[in-house]
Amino acid sequence: MGPMSSKILFGFHAVTVRLKTAPESIVEIHVDTTRRDARMRQFVERAAEAGARIVDSDDARLARLAGTGRHQGVVARVTPLAPRHSLDDVLDEVKGPPLLLVLDGVTDPHNLGACLRVADGAGAHAVLAPRDHAVGLNATVAKVASGAAETVPYLMVTNLARTLGELKERDIRIVGASDDAPRTLFEADLRGPLALVLGAEGTGMRQLTRKTCDELVRIPMVGAVESLNVSVAAGVCLYEARRQRGTPGEGRGAGADDG
């Protein structure tokens, strides 16, 4: 299978989620034969039950496949899943008021992965980003996201301002996070159909995106640090929206793990 027709996932979470959601897309799973702890044994058992082809490998080969040493002894070659959603598809399927996360200019794969993970945890229905100022779903993103890259639709749009305009036409309020906003996040009403917009740490949202927002809010900062990492800020904003709504994410479990 050529490199163009397959992609790499690595780490227990990312590969386990793919085993659960689309086992038929797994071409083969390479595992480190020197690792024999309970977590690896359970993983291999689960992979075998799913009918996946398991290839015994070593650390050097896994690192070469994954492009990093942080693969946890598990690297899968998979066929890409067809894009499951357009924005209209996602919004048409939502029960109750939509909750969306919009990332303007988040180009770091670790930040994107962490944003997807927190969006999954808070029950956001999709994550949106502009195609030209964003990062695609590469293996690092999938690893950091711990499986959320497979469960939260990540939609890259050609023109973010236009897409935000389309959300407004659907009566979705656009609330942007900005360090210099007059009102705090906790003073805003986040209960209805909502898109939360965050820019990259330091630079913030682009001017046009900022102008498109219905309201700007700031996260109160009481310490010496001036701003939060974008994935932390996304978590604070999404969970405040979730708290105000008083409803848990549909069918989503909660819990922490060692990533």
- Residue 121, CA atoms < 13 Å, CB-side half-sphere: 22
Q: Tell me the angle at which helices 230-245 and 109-122 cross, rounded to the nearest 10 degrees.
A: 10
CA distance 192 to 172: 8
Q: Which fold has domain 3-78?
A: 60s Ribosomal Protein L30; Chain: A; (3.30.1330)
Q: Please count the helices (runs of H) and the strands (runs of E) in the chain.
A: 10, 11
pLDDT confidence bin for 259, thresholds 50/70/90? very low
Output the six-digit token pair for 225. 């640090």
How confident is the prediction for the chain on average, in pLDDT? 85
Sequence-ordered list of residues with C-beta below 8 angstroms from that of 134, at least 6 positions apart, any chain: 103, 105, 106, 107, 112, 156
Q: Catalogue the E-assigned strands of 3-113.
A: 7-10, 26-32, 54-57, 74-78, 99-104
Say if residue 197's pLDDT is above 60: yes
Say if residue 252's pLDDT is above 80: no
Q: What's the rounded mean pLDDT across residues 122-145?
A: 74
pLDDT in tens, 90-116: 888 888 899 999 999 888 888 888 898
In angstroms, how far is CA 178 from the centroid of its own chain? 21
Give residue limits of the domains in the chain: 3-78, 87-245
Question: Judging by DSSP bridges, how do beta strands 126-130 and 173-177 pair with one another?
Answer: unpaired
pLDDT at residue 144, rounded to an integer: 58
Q: Which fold has domain 87-245?
A: Alpha/beta knot (3.40.1280)
Q: What's the rounded mean pLDDT across residues 175-183?
A: 93
pLDDT at residue 236, rounded to an integer: 95
Average the pLDDT over each of 155-159, 198-202, 224-228 and give the range with the smallest value: 224-228
Rg (CA), the chain: 19
Q: What is the pTM of this model?
A: 0.66
Q: What's the rounded mean pLDDT across residues 54-79?
A: 94
pLDDT in tens, 2-22: 444 678 999 998 899 889 888
Using alpha carbons only, give the angle 155, 159, 164 rounded to the nearest 5 degrees: 75
